[in-house]
A and B are shown apart, each in its own frame.
Chain A
Amino acid sequence: MAKFIVKRVAYMLVTLLIVITATFFLMHSIPGDPLAHMARNLPEETRANYYEKYGLDKSTPEQYVIFMKNLLSKGEMGESLRYPGRQVTDTLVENSEVSAVPGGLALIIGLVIGILLGIVAALHKNKWPDYIVMFIAILGITVPVFVLASVLQYIFSVKLMVLPTTGWGSYKNVILPIIVLSFGTIATYARYVKSNMLDVMGQDYILTAEAKGVSRMNVIKRHVLKNAFLPCMTLLVGQVSGIFTGSFVVEKIFGIPGLGFYYINSINDRDYTMIIGTTIFAAALFVFVQLVVDIAYSLMDPRIRVK
C-alpha cells in the first residue's frame, strides 16, 4: 500500500509539472497583450518599465525558469498583472474559501438528495416514483444553470422579495446559489445511482442472496447499495475539486466573490500570473482528490486492489 501511494504521488507531481509547463508556454503563445485592458497605448518608456517589472521583457523560457524557481523555493506565483498589488496566491486562497461555501453545501445536499432519489427510482422501476425522479433528472441536466438562476432570482428576490438578488456575507445570500448548484448534482446522481443499482440487482450474487432467503431489505442494504455506490466515487473527483474552483456563471449571477471569475477573466485579460495560478490550483486539487478516491477505492473494493 505504501509503495502504491508513493508511486501515485510521484505520478501526481509529474502530471502537475506537465500541466504547469504546457500552460505556461501555451498562454504565452496566444496572441494578446496583458496591457490591452488599458484603452490608451502607454508611452514607450512606461511600457518598457512595466514589462521589465513583471519580467515580460525576457524570453518565455527564461520567464519559465524564474517562475518555477519562485514557485518551488518560495511558493510564490507573483503579482496579478491586472490588479496591481495583489498576490496571486492570496487571491486563490481568499476566493476559493468563498467558492467552497455554496459549492460544498450544494455538493452535500445534491449528493444526499440525488442518491435518495436514485434509490427510490431503482426500487420502483417503471412506476410513478421512477418517472418523477427521471423527469427531475432530465430537467436538471437540460435546464442551463443561468436560466434556473435567473428564474429563481426573479421569483424569490423580485416577486416575493424574501431573498437578496446578489451579495455576499449573509446566509440569505447562499440559499439560491445552493439550490442552483445542487440541481445538477441531484440530476447526475439520481440517474447514475439508479442505473448502477439496476445493474447490480441483475447480478447473479443478488439472486444467490435472495435464494438463501435474505430479506429484500437486507439484500438492498448489504449487497446492492455498497456495490452500486462504488462507481459513483469516480464522479466525485471532478465535483469535489469543482467546489473550490467555483462556478463562473452562478457566481456571476449571484455576485459571489468566488474564484470562478478569475478562471475566465484572467484568460481574457491575458493576466499571465493569474492564469497559471488558477490552473495550478485546479490541477493540483484534481490530482489530489483523484489520489484520495483511488486509495479509498482500493480499500473498499477487493476487485481493484493494487499490487
Chain B
Amino acid sequence: MKKRLVAAILTAAMALSLTACGGGGGDKSSSSGEGEQYYNIYLQTEPSTLDSIKGNDNYSWKILMNTMEPLTRLAEKDGEQVREPAGAESWESNDDGTVWTFKIRDNKWTDGKEVTAEDYAYGIRQTLNPDAGSPNSFFTADFIKNGAKVVNGEASVDELGVKVVDDKTLEITLEAPTPYFMSLTDTRACYPVRQDIAEQHGETYGSEADKYVSNGPFKVESWKHNSEVSLVKNPDYWDAENVKLDKVKYSIITDETAVFNSFDSGQLDWCSTGTEEWADRFDKKDNAERVDTTTPAMRFDFFNVNDKLFSNINIRKAFVLAVDREDMAKTIYQDMHIPAYWWVPQAISTGELGDYREQVDAPLEKMAKEEDAKELLLKGMEELGLGSDPSAITVKYSLSATTQWTRNYGEYVQQKYKEILGVNIELDFNEWTTFQQKTNSGEYQMGNMIWSTDYDDPMSMISLFTTANSGNIPTGWSNEKFDELIAKAGREMDEKTRVDLYHQAEEVLFNEGCNICPLVNEMEHSFHYNYVKNLNKKFTSTSGLKYVYIEGR
C-alpha cells in the first residue's frame, strides 16, 4: 500500500513538471460513433423547474428556450436580429395595435398531441393567475387587458384579454397600444403549457424530465438533478429539418475552475469567463474562438432618497460623478466589463432602429462635463446644514455578498470616495437574502446591485423607476414627469418618437433623480472551439441552439 501511494505521488509530481502537451484535443471516447452533431455545454446551477410558469431563473430559461416553442423568436440572420415566426406562423394587429391575432402553426407536442391556441392561452393566463404564484407576471401584467386586475385578484382569469378563437387562432387584447409587445411574445410569460399535463402532475409538473412535455426543437431526454440535463433533437418539431444538432448535453458545474478545466480538456465545447487570467489562457488556444458581447446588464449603486443625507440631489449627484468609471473597469474588472455612463445598457435595441445606445448620448458623460463632484457635495452639505467638512460624513455602503472579491471591491470604493470626495464609507456586507430584506425595508443608505434586462426594449430597464414599479430597486424616488414620459413611451407606436421619449426620461432620471449610480455595463467573454458554428452572437437573441451545428470536430 505504502509503495503504491509513493508511486502515485511520484506520478503526480512528474505530471506537474510536464509542460503543455496536447490541450484541447478533447475526450472523444464518450461520444464516438454517434456522428459529430453533439454539443456539450454547462449550466452554473441546477434549474429550479421546467415549469415556465413557476421558474424564473436563467438556467431553466436556457432549457426552456431550446425545448419549448414560443410564439416568435428573435433570431440572427447575417449579423442582424430578426423576429421570426415560431409557434405562430403569422400575426397581425388591428389598426391601433391593441388587438393581436396569432395564427398558430401545425406542430406537435412530444407526446404526439397537436399544439393548439389553447396551450398558449393557458400559459399566458396561468402566469397572471395569482393562485399559480408565478414570478413572471410582471412581463405581461401591465399590457394584456385586465392583466393588472387579475394579478391583484380584482378580476377573474376569464376576464383576461386572451381569447381562443379556434384551435389555431389566438387573440390577445391589450390594455393600450404597446409598441414593443412583440418583444414579450418570446418571454416565459407567453410560453405554451399543456393544461392536461400540468394538472395531471400538479405541484410536481416540471420537476422531472418525465413530468413535462414540450414542443420545441429539442426535447429533454433526461435530467439528473444537480448533474446534467440531456436534450435530443425533437423529430416531430415542425422545423426539424433546420435543426442540426442531435444531442445537447448541459452539465451542471457550479465550480468555476472545474468549468475552465472542462473546457480546456475539450469536455465542454463552450464556456464563458469573467476573469482575465482564464481569458488570456484560452486566447492562446488556436482552435478556439473568442466572442465578446455586451450584455444588457448593469452593475450599479443606488441611494435611499429617504435617508437624510441622500435626500439631497446635489449629494447624490456628487456621489455619482465622483466615481472614476474607467479606473474601476480597469482596476476592479480588469477591463472585462465596460464603464457605464448610462442606465439603459448597451445591447438593448428598439425595434427596427437597432441598438438604443447608438442613437442616444450617454447622460453621465454630459453631466460630468458640466458639473464638479466636490462642488456639488459642498453645495449639498450647505443645503442640509452639515457644515463644510466632508470628513465629518460617514455613509454606510451595503453590499449583497460576503466573498473576498466583494471585500476587495468594498475597500476600493472606500478608498476612492475618501480620495475624491473626502467622505468616509462604512462597509456593510450581507448575504443576498438579508441584503434584499434590508433594502426593501429602507434600512440602508447606499447599496450595490446588478440588474439584467428581462426583454429586449429600453422599457424593461427604465420603467423600473416609475412610481408603480419602485419596489424593485427600492430607492424611494418618485417623479411625476418621469412617470408621464414612461407612460407616453409605452403607448407611442412611432419608433423614433419613442426613442426620444426614453431619452428624455433617462435625462430626467439623472438630472432630477440621480437615485442610481451606474458603474459598469456587463460583458460576456465566451470561448468556443472552431468546430462550433452559427452560435448566436447577441445576448438578447432567443433562437437558442436551434441553428447551431458542428463542422469538423
A205 at the interface (CB under 8 A from B): no
Assess whether B257 is in contact with A150, with CB atoms less than 8 Å apart. Answer: yes
B411 at the interface (CB under 8 A from A): no
Assess whether A95 is in contact with B16, with CB atoms less than 8 Å apart. Answer: no
Assess whether B440 is in contact with A43, with CB atoms less than 8 Å apart. Answer: no
Assess whether A159 is in contact with B21, with CB atoms less than 8 Å apart. Answer: yes
With a 10 A CB-CB cut-off, give which of A36, A113, A166 has the most chain B CB atoms.
A166
Query: Contacts A46-B130, A120-B2, A257-B226; is A165 near B431 (CB within 8 Å)?
Result: no
Residue on A with the closest CB to B134?
A: A46
Residue on A with the closest CB to B208?
A: A85
Encoded as 1 (CB less than 8 Å from any B CB) or 0, chain A from 78 to 120 comes to 0100111110000100110000000000000000110011001
Interface residues of B, count at CB 8 A: 71
Query: Contacts A39-B451, A45-B151, A45-B152; is A83 near B471 (CB within 8 Å)?
Result: no
Assess whether A36 is in contact with B253, with CB atoms less than 8 Å apart. Answer: no
Partner-binding segment picked from A61-69, A196-204, A247-255: A247-255
Query: Contacts A43-B137, A85-B204; is A154 near B226 (CB within 8 Å)?
Result: no
Which of A30, A155, A258 contacts B12 (CB under 8 A)?
A155
Which of B54, B152, B228, B262 contacts A44 (CB under 8 A)?
B152
B306 at the interface (CB under 8 A from A): no
Query: Contacts A31-B433, A31-B434, A50-B133; is A168 near B224 (CB within 8 Å)?
Result: yes
Query: Contacts A46-B137, A82-B48; is A257 near B432 (CB within 8 Å)?
Result: no
Residue on B with the closest CB to A43?
A: B151
Query: Contacts A41-B440, A161-B22; is A166 near B138 (CB within 8 Å)?
Result: no
Residue on B with the closest CB to A165?
A: B262
Encoded as 1 (CB less than 8 Å from any B CB) or 0, chain A from 41 to 57 comes to 11111101110010000
Give Cα A82 to B207, complex, Å. 11
Give Cα A257 to B45, complex, Å. 11
* Complex interface residues of chain B between 197 and 256 (CB less than 8 A to chain A): 201, 203-207, 211, 224-228, 251-255
Assess whether B257 is in contact with A253, with CB atoms less than 8 Å apart. Answer: yes
Contacts of A53 in B (CB 8 A): 133
Give Cα A23 to B49, complex, Å. 27
Give Cα A169 to B227, complex, Å. 9
Which of A41, A85, A154, A167 contacts B207 (CB under 8 A)?
A85
Which of A50, A83, A155, A179 contacts B16 (CB under 8 A)?
A155
Give Cα A166 to B256, complex, Å. 12
Encoded as 1 (CB less than 8 Å from any A CB) or 0, chain B from 152 to 173 comes to 1100000000000000000000
Which of A129, A132, A161 contacts B265 (CB under 8 A)?
A161
Residue on A with the closest CB to B14?
A: A155
Give Cα A228 to B206, complex, Å. 54
Contacts of B534 in A (CB 8 A): none
Assess whether A159 is in contact with B18, with CB atoms less than 8 Å apart. Answer: yes
A153 at the interface (CB under 8 A from B): yes
Interface residues of A, count at CB 8 A: 67
Contacts of B15 in A (CB 8 A): 155-156, 159-160
A284 at the interface (CB under 8 A from B): no
Residue on B with the closest CB to A113?
A: B1
Encoded as 1 (CB less than 8 Å from any A CB) or 0, chain B from 372 to 413 comes to 000000000000000000000000000000000000000000
A282 at the interface (CB under 8 A from B): no
Assess whether A257 is in contact with B224, with CB atoms less than 8 Å apart. Answer: yes
Assess whether A36 is in contact with B251, with CB atoms less than 8 Å apart. Answer: no
Assess whether A49 is in contact with B130, with CB atoms less than 8 Å apart. Answer: yes
Contacts of A113 in B (CB 8 A): 1, 5
Give Cα A132 to B9, complex, Å. 12
B264 at the interface (CB under 8 A from A): yes
Contacts of B1 in A (CB 8 A): 112-113, 116-117
Assess whether A255 is in contact with B207, with CB atoms less than 8 Å apart. Answer: no
Contacts of B85 in A (CB 8 A): none
A270 at the interface (CB under 8 A from B): yes
Query: Contacts A36-B432, A41-B472; is A166 near B133 (CB within 8 Å)?
Result: no
Assess whether A40 is in contact with B203, with CB atoms less than 8 Å apart. Answer: no
Give Cα A210 to B55, complex, Å. 72
A269 at the interface (CB under 8 A from B): yes
Assess whether A46 is in contact with B133, with CB atoms less than 8 Å apart. Answer: yes
Assess whether A40 is in contact with B135, with CB atoms less than 8 Å apart. Answer: yes
A301 at the interface (CB under 8 A from B): no
Query: Contacts A40-B472, A84-B207, A161-B25; is A257 near B227 (CB within 8 Å)?
Result: yes
Assess whether A253 is in contact with B224, with CB atoms less than 8 Å apart. Answer: no
A26 at the interface (CB under 8 A from B): no
Assess whether B433 is in contact with A40, with CB atoms less than 8 Å apart. Answer: no
Assess whether B135 is in contact with A36, with CB atoms less than 8 Å apart. Answer: no
Residue on B with the closest CB to A270?
A: B433
Nearest first, the 5 closest Cβ-Cβ pairs linking A and B are: A32-B433, A85-B207, A257-B226, A85-B204, A257-B227
Point out residues on B near A: beta carbons under 8 Å.
1-2, 5-6, 8, 12, 15-16, 18, 20-23, 25, 27, 30, 46, 48-49, 51, 54-57, 130-131, 133-135, 137-138, 141, 151-153, 201, 203-207, 211, 224-228, 251-255, 257-258, 261-262, 264-267, 431-434, 436-438, 440, 451, 471-472
